[in-house]
Amino acid sequence: MSYNADSDLEVKVKKATERISENMHIVANEPSLAFYRLQEHVRKAINPMVDRRVDVNKLHQELQGRCYDMEYAVSAIKAMDKAESSFKNIQDNLKNSIFLKQQLKYEESRRKKPDGNSVYKRLSAHITIDLPELPELSDVVNNNDNVPHYRQNE
């Protein structure tokens, strides 16, 4: 009987282990447990993903701002290219004004130089003329009241 009891016990143990193994397999593969594992994974992964998304959005906004700045700079450079003729005209006008200013300085310096050796000055200093009184001229000076005065239209 001992052998028979051992064989019965062995069969019962075998059946019990098979059932436990089957139950473990069912529990391990049960859908609610799978959802629990998914939920656990999502809970662990969601915070880093949200942080990454926030960082990506910030970078996207900064990139858009820099793109706008670049577009503005390019349009400003293109506008400067269009203004080249105006700058050339300004440069020519500046050159002309500098040249004219130099000419004026030269003319002023020529006029300011006292010409002490002038023939006319030397001659006029030595000539004294006594003008006679001319009665004809005195009548003209006295009769200037008869001359009509013209006024311009204002």
Cα–Cα dist 44/39, whole Å: 9
> Which pLDDT tens digits describe the chain residue by residue (154 residues)?
556 768 888 899 999 999 999 888 877 777 777 788 888 988 999 999 999 999 999 999 999 999 999 999 999 988 888 888 888 999 999 999 999 999 999 988 888 765 555 555 556 556 666 656 655 655 554 554 554 544 545 4
pTM of this structure: 0.36
